[in-house]
Amino acid sequence: MPAGWSCYCWLLGNRLDVEFSESKISDMPDIVKNTIHDSPERTKSAMNNFLYTVGISYLPLHEKAIETAKAIGTVEVKRDKKKSSFLNAYERIQKEVDKGKLGFKRKYVRSASNRERSSIIQGH
């Protein structure tokens, strides 16, 4: 389940807004709002990141992402044998807006290491 949310994060954070149908994505923040607190731990993290990505990288739903993140508040993600993490998409969005990052798009897949990026760029 978290893989789908993560896939949307990469796509929304990498591609132009015009490549997406706003009507197809507009219900997704509501799904997050209604299910995040009762979801599996990794899904909570992926959903929170999705909301953050929509709030920063997908301008047509920026305001909706902010409203949804405010309504959700802090999300606790419990970790095996570690302290819980407390995620707050609203605070993350505001922090990035304050830095002037609204509309930010990535150039690379986040999981690629620097060595992999270098190989891709150089064509190896």
What is the Cα–Cα distance from 78 to 31, expressed in whole angstroms?
21
What is the Cα–Cα distance from 111 to 90, expressed in whole angstroms?
24
Which single residue is written with the structure tokens 């709030």?
55
User: Number of folded domains in the chain?
Assistant: 1
- 9's enclosing H/E stretch is helix 2-14
DSSP string covering 100-117: T-TT---SS-TTS-HHHH
Task: Say what the pTM is.
Answer: 0.84
Q: Which tens digit of pLDDT belongs to each residue from 1-50?
A: 788 999 999 999 999 999 999 999 999 999 999 999 999 999 999 999 99
Q: Report pLDDT for 110.
A: 54
Range of the domain at 39: 2-122
Please tell me the total number of residues recorded for the chain in this structure.
124
